Structure 1
Amino acid sequence: MASKQPLVVEVLRGPVVESLHQVMAVVVNEIGSITQYWGHPQFLTMPRSAIKMLQALPLIESGAADKFELEDKHIALACSSHRGEKDHITALTQWMDKVGIKESSYVCAPHLPYNEESALEMTRKGQKPTVLCNNCAGKHSALITTCLHLGEDPTGYEKYEHGAQKRLRKVLTETMRYDHSKTAYGIDGCGIPTYAVPLQNMAVGMSVLINSKESPVRKAASERILRAVRSFPFYISGSDNFATAVIEKTHGRAIIKGGAEGVFCGVLPEKRVAFAIKASDGAGRAAQVATASLLLQLGGLNETEFKALAKYTMPTVTNWKGDVVGQMRIAKAR
């Protein structure tokens, strides 16, 4: 399907549509050709954390992951927006010890864990969050590890002209087929540059992970990343999260990753398709509902799985007592 009209997510309170969100989506095949879209494929936006699997490629391709004998759970963390649970922090600490990374090397700022129980436990114990609690600590560990493997001083790795960022621009330019040295950029929440790219190029980038025609080095790196995420979905996010739940429920038939401001990217390895989604108003709740609907349409989720994940795929609106007072859904085409 090709439609200039975006997907519309309705938020109902009782029988009344209280809010509407417009969501754009692009689907491509394994060689990056558009097969379906809703809205504007050329919509310029920032992928944020939704492309962390692409950002993890240099860690594998440089040989750094092999040099320091990183496990698949560490590779999954490199692609993650983790929720700061105990096992996340433990695995990141193991990674630091393997490589010899100092906590002072990280530029991502500490914040309380996204997981509510972990945050409350830390608060009860009077503990302060460390940089490893930052949801992007895995990505930063990957950047620092690659620098150390290549004999490069990681100091300032977040700067535009540092070798770490040049490598990211190179791999993102190659995978997305969009020159990242010539596009506008801003600074992500974790402190490194994030680049403005058309939505369709985000989908094209993700297709590299399933493209059998890629170079042997890139194909092997992509397969390792997908294997790690499929094997350790908990480390891609954590408990009570849509991305982790989808990967777990489908046993990796659908692999998705969200980003701030209403972005999702994903691949369906068996179906040989990839996609990118953006809620135009940045609403994460709308992007999640649209992603779930798209997964059902593409066969990434079957009806049974879709219903089993209803809290994410068909979310309800509740009041402070927990009573259901509304729902969210994709609006029917008019």
Structure 2
Amino acid sequence: MTGVDEGAVDLVRLIRGERLESVHRGHAVICDGRGEMVEAWGDPAALIYPRSACKMVQALPLVESGAGRDLTERQLAFACASHQGAAIHREMAAAWLADLGLAEADLRCGPQEPDDRPERDRLIRAHAEPCQLHNNCSGKHCGFLTLGRHLGAGPEYTEIDHPVQRAVRAAFDETCEFQSPAWGVDGCSAPNFTTRLDALGRAMGRFAAARADGDARARAMVRLRRAMGAAPELVAGERRACTDLMRAMSGEVAVKTGAEGVFVAIIPALERGIALKICDGGTRAAEATIATLLIRLGVLAAEAPVARTLTHGPIRSRRGLEAGRIEMAI
């Protein structure tokens, strides 16, 4: 079995005091609107699970099929979300399901304790259990149910041979221009298809270059990337890197994290796409690397608070003492 760390390079270093404490290695690519690789670090051919970083690709069949014709911009942002399970997310999922004449039990993502503290505390005070509306992928699953309704398909939409997942697989392979050799079960129980890192970057480049006067797929790409930039609080939530980065770039760039150290960016003004993978799955390192590459491309101001925090720190003790810093190796 080929390891994801083969060919990786140092991307992020953590310094405590004046001593190197840890190093995060990985791979990253920048691709243009034609899908050609512009820059790369590590092994562009690294085979990865994109996890939630590919949610805008998974949402393409929802939009280009016409199933999402009447969905609002905020619903499309929510379809691409890995959210906190806050009240705004729970209410959005519940309202979407109600519009479909469905209920929480029709979801297949599983319950999840919300990361949002106010919502978690509300559940504790009410002696209530978290439900599937709190699942960080509930928006994607609402989109799957909407597409399934449009296709006249059955309720088990996470099964690999279900028409919804066949449509997602086709859109994923076509957009990446790479036939996925394998798949695994994601945390939300939906299939997640492996791809090469450069293929994922190619897909992001295509999203960046898409135009509103293009074909159905291009128009779908434009709707989704604009929706993400317009409502980052639905894509992620408050005090999340995705939200803070998109706000710092005035919604002109769409960014999306994925579990186990994956991150992507869509930069329409430059017709550039970014994809990266941190081998050890570290979120802090993935956030630092995407911020560094956005600064490198000139779309994120280096002095922006989120940029300074993600790429430098400082790292503090629980009393607030400065204990270390982040150093970028690229």
Aligned length: 323
Equivalent residue in structure 2 for 1:27, among 24, 30, 39: 30
Find the counterpart in structure 1 of residue 200 from structure 2.
202
Which letter maps to 2:206?
A: V
CA separation in 1, counterparts of 2:207 and 2:48?
21
Instruction: Report the more deviating stretch, 78-87 or 310-319.
Output: 310-319
Q: 1:254–1:301: 8 Å Cα contact kept in structure 2?
A: no
CA separation in 1, counterparts of 2:128 and 2:312?
37
TM-superposed CA distance for 1:116, in Å, is 2.5
Give the TM-score taking structure 1 as reference length: 0.92
Find the counterpart in structure 1 of residue 288 from structure 2.
289
CA separation in 2, counterparts of 1:156 and 1:179?
24
Which letter maps to 1:156?
A: E
Provide closer, same or farther for how the CA distance between residues 308 and 161 of structure 1 changes in structure 2, counting only shifts above 3 A.
closer
Find the counterpart in structure 2 of residue 73 from structure 1.
74
Equivalent residue in structure 1 for 2:11, among 8, 13, 17: 8
TM-superposed CA distance for 1:223, in Å, is 1.1
Which letter maps to 2:140?
A: K
1:118 matches 2:116? no
TM-superposed CA distance for 1:315, in Å, is 2.5
TM-superposed CA distance for 1:5, in Å, is 6.4
1:60 matches 2:29? no
Question: What SS does the aligned partner of 2:84 have?
Answer: coil
Structure 1: gaps (5+ residues): none
CA separation in 2, counterparts of 1:125 and 1:210?
45
Alignment of 1:148-297 (within 5 A): 148-153=149-154, 155-180=155-180, 183-212=181-210, 216-297=215-296
TM-superposed CA distance for 1:215, in Å, is 5.1
1:258-296 CA distances to partner (integer Å, 9 max, x unpaired)? 000000011111011001000011111111111111110
The runs of 4+ residues in structure 1 deviating greater than 3 Å are 212-215
TM-superposed CA distance for 1:19, in Å, is 0.4
CA separation in 1, counterparts of 2:175 and 2:8?
27
CA separation in 2, counterparts of 1:102 and 1:118?
20
CA-based RMSD:
1.6
Instruction: Report the more deviating stretch, 164-173 or 295-304.
Output: 295-304
Which letter maps to 1:47?
A: P
Provide closer, same or farther for how the CA distance between residues 43 and 5 of structure 1 changes in structure 2, counting only shifts above 3 A.
closer
Question: What SS does the aligned partner of 2:303 have?
Answer: helix
CA separation in 1, counterparts of 2:80 and 2:282?
22
Identity of aligned residues (%): 32
Which letter maps to 1:293?
A: T
CA separation in 2, counterparts of 1:6 and 1:104?
45
TM-superposed CA distance for 1:111, in Å, is 1.0
Q: 1:110–1:133: 8 Å Cα contact kept in structure 2?
A: yes
Find the counterpart in structure 1 of residue 311 from structure 2.
313
Question: What SS does the aligned partner of 1:293 have?
Answer: helix
TM-superposed CA distance for 1:7, in Å, is 4.1
Give the TM-score taking structure 2 as reference length: 0.93
TM-superposed CA distance for 1:309, in Å, is 4.1
